Amino acid sequence: MKTIIMLALLMPLICFSQKTKSDLWKEMDKQAEQFNSIALKIWNFAELGYREEQSAALLAETLEQAGFKIARGVVELPTAFTAEFGSGKPVIGILGEYDALPGLSQEATGERKPIPGKKAGHGCGHHLFGTASAAAAISVKNWMAANKIKGTIRFYGTPAEENGSGKVYMVQAGLFNDADVVFHWHPGSKNTAKPRSSLANRTGLFRFYGIASHAAGSPEKGRSALDAVEAMNFMTNLMREHVEEDSRIHYVITKGGEAPNVVPAFAEVYYYIRHPKRTELNAMWERLINNAKGAALGTDTRMEYEFGGVYEILVNKPLAMAMHENLKAVGGFELTADEKEFGRKIQTTLSNPPPLESTASIEDFNSSSEENYGSTDVGDVSWVVPTAGLRTATWVPGTSAHSWQAVAAGGMSIGMKGMGAAAKVLAGVMVDAFTKPALIAAAKKEFEANRGSNFTYKSMLGDQKPPVLNPRD
């Protein structure tokens, strides 16, 4: 029955003839509600990285029923998959994410209201990300069939972007080696396709092992693992004064002991450090490790650590410009009266938000804008194949990622409208890649120039087996 329902949903997609992008986009409008339903299901699943069983299965089944060949559980990751249609060159890749974030349970309302019994939420909008990418891939597949276009579409189902570096394992395994270009997008609070980079990021779980003892009766017999964590944090906070201004350092103590009257025998701290350049980031990382070693030495404890990391994004202006032109053609969207009321409620919780009407505007390609201080494993992809992305307004203007406000908007019509716009833009730029060989040639030329002739990709994960970092509940 499930298969029959899915086929019924997708059947309208394969019963038309389309010649232009406008035809393609009109057909996508007809299928919007079906993909909205898929996105809302994944929003409700709200599964953490490497646990996205239902989310990955739903997207894979949707693509399979549309005629894609599916490879599940690739590179030893149960929730990673690829979906492929066509054959030969060019190979046009499109990324899809679907993992949620811990601690962000939230109903689709304008007030803070966690969903009872749920802990996670889609605070980065990956339910929209994966669904829009799948919608674009399916629509372009139908356009290829209608117009007898040669080439290959490859959808990459990429798990655990939030703290598991899922794409890095896929890059390491060579899954992108034969791709000509790759496209992606991300939910946001504005419509933009400018060539922005990101921060390279290293992550570490530092574990300290001491000796338990009665904190009052025999403290001299104990060795506090929590002391070691606090010593490491203290040294790292002093280090902040002596790193470059664009650096970012943040941590949480994930385990600090069980009771005040027991000297903690185990403690753990979870670090992220970031910088626009990997070379400087790697130097910071060595200093962070030395802080951990010093903390263990000074507290007479033992230390071990797990680590992860992602590259900064290597921008590609030819692809970014093509993405921008498609974004201008698709345009933004206006909010309904109900959506404006929702938006006004959300904006009372934000600091100096832009006008609600900004969902209808497109950011100029050459305008200056704030730096991108986030990190993503898309960065690793961008260093092995020319890559470009965009953002659309899926949240109330002024909303930041990783917030309950983002979860709320992503579960209602504002998120769906932004997702629909992104799907159209992705489909449009994929059509360009299939029909304009000069675009791919220009993208590859800039890619090689920016990467450098002596570049050899080497991930920051070393030889660790996935998943490197366990997701946090």
Judge whether 363 lies within some domain: yes
Judge whether 149 lies within some domain: yes
Judge whether 370 lies within some domain: yes
Q: Are residues 12 and 52 in the same domain?
A: yes
Q: Are residues 286 and 345 in the same domain?
A: no
204 has pLDDT over 70: yes
Q: Tens digits of per-residue pLDDT, 401-427?
A: 999 999 999 999 999 999 999 999 999
Q: Are residues 173 and 293 in the same domain?
A: no
What is the reported pLDDT for 17?
57
471 has pLDDT over 60: no
Judge whether 126 lies within some domain: yes
What is the reported pLDDT for 371?
61
Q: What percent of the chain has pLDDT over 90?
A: 89
34 has pLDDT over 70: yes
**Total domains, the chain:** 2
What is the reported pLDDT for 462?
83
* Nearest-angstrom CA–CA distance, 33 and 343: 22
Judge whether 99 lies within some domain: yes
What is the reported pLDDT for 58?
98
CATH number at residue 305: 3.30.70.360
* Nearest-angstrom CA–CA distance, 397 and 355: 7
Q: Are residues 69 and 132 in the same domain?
A: yes
Judge whether 464 lies within some domain: no
Q: What is the mean pLDDT of residues 160-182?
A: 94
Q: What is the mean pLDDT of residues 340-354?
A: 97
Q: Are residues 39 and 136 in the same domain?
A: yes
Q: Are residues 188 and 204 in the same domain?
A: no
Q: Are residues 79 and 144 in the same domain?
A: yes
Q: Are residues 237 and 114 in the same domain?
A: no
Q: How does residue 161 score in pLDDT terms, banded at 50, 70 and 90? A: very high
357 has pLDDT over 60: yes
Q: What is the mean pLDDT of residues 294-304?
A: 98
Q: Are residues 317 and 426 in the same domain?
A: yes
CATH number at residue 358: 3.40.630.10
What is the reported pLDDT for 373?
74
**Residue 251: domain span:** 200-309
Q: Tens digits of per-residue pLDDT, 93-120?
A: 999 999 999 999 999 999 999 999 999 9
Residues with Cβ within 8 Å of 315's Cβ and at least 6 positions away in sequence, in order, are 195, 196, 197, 382, 388, 450
Count the Cβ atoms, other than its own, within 10 Å of residue 178. 13
Judge whether 471 lies within some domain: no
